[in-house]
């Protein structure tokens, strides 16, 4: 069995050739923005890549906080993976129904908790469908597996660390939201949040690094960050609205060879909803 050549992605050809391998699990990581009015789980049930399990980031989350899809505890994550039939030693391929939106968040989460081999399907479900490949409906059930968690806490930034970076410049804060939201010119899609950005942060809208549901070439990704004033030689914290598209920027940076990127899980949903945290506009 020929291994995938990319450290981040597999092609639809590769996945089609490897479907059914006993150590391979396909993961549907579909997530839709609040204003899309689409139901990720319902769309998974209606049609998914054969054998794929559904990773629901709103269900596999910390339900003790009033923030959407925050990381669960290691114990809760291990329990969820057992139910999905995923062990940390398996080869995992994540995709989503948008091409490249929810999959990077699931890819990041799986790696964060200790999965050894996680890749993303290039082009996601839209490419798979466009090629006329098989789909199946319903819910996939797999035998329970034991997932041995090794949680990388250093890869997640709490609000206090982001505030310190904002004040000291020890790390660059890069925001994945669209420019009008970053500048505070348009209201946030989630009610009750202030408009603007973390003081001192830089803006690389996630669509600047994605083209037709696929990650742009490393040179184009590098250009997008450098044009926004990001120094790739210095530490970076990625942020966004609720920690999803921040993972797209993190993945994009890793494709350029940048390592050690930290993600602010609470992102603007936490920051913009906390009156004690400073904001900037413009």
Residues marked active site are found at: 240
The token pair at 190 is: 């989630």
Pairwise CA distance, residues 252 & 255, whole Å: 5
Q: What does DSSP say about strands 214-215 and 210-211: parallel, antiparallel, or unpaired?
A: antiparallel
Distance of CA 253 to the CA centre of its chain: 13
Distance of CA 216 to the CA centre of its chain: 16
* Residue 271 backbone zone (phi > 0: left; psi -120 to 50: alpha; other: beta): alpha
């Amino acid at each position: 069995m020929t291994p995938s050549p990319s450290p981040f992605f597999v092609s639809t050809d590769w996945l089609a050739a490897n479907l059914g391998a006993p150590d391979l699990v396909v993961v549907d990581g579909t997530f839709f923005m609040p204003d899309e009015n689409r139901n990720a789980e319902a769309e998974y049930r209606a049609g998914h890549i054969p054998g794929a399990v559904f990773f629901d980031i709103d269900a596999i989350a910390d339900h003790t906080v009033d923030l959407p899809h925050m990381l669960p505890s290691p114990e809760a994550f291990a329990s969820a993976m057992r139910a999905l039939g995923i062990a940390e030693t398996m080869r995992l391929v994540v995709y989503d129904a948008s091409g490249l939106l929810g999959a990077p968040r699931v890819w990041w989460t799986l790696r964060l908790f200790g999965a050894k081999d996680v890749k993303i399907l290039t082009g996601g479900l839209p490419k798979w469908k466009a090629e006329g490949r098989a789909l199946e409906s319903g819910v996939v059930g797999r035998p329970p597996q034991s997932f041995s968690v090794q949680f990388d806490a250093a890869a997640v930034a709490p609000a206090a660390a982001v505030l310190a970076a904002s004040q000291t410049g020890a790390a660059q804060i890069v925001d994945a939201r669209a420019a009008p939201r970053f500048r505070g010119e348009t209201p946030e899609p989630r009610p009750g949040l202030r408009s603007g950005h973390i003081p001192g942060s830089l803006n690389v809208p996630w669509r600047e690094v994605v083209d037709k549901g696929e990650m742009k070439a490393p040179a184009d990704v590098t250009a997008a960050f450098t044009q926004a004033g990001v120094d790739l030689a210095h530490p970076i914290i990625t942020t966004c609205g609720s920690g999803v598209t921040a993972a797209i920027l993190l993945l994009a940076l890793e494709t350029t060879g940048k390592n050690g990127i930290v993600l602010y899980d609470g992102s603007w949903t936490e920051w913009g909803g906390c009156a004690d945290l400073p904001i900037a506009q413009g």
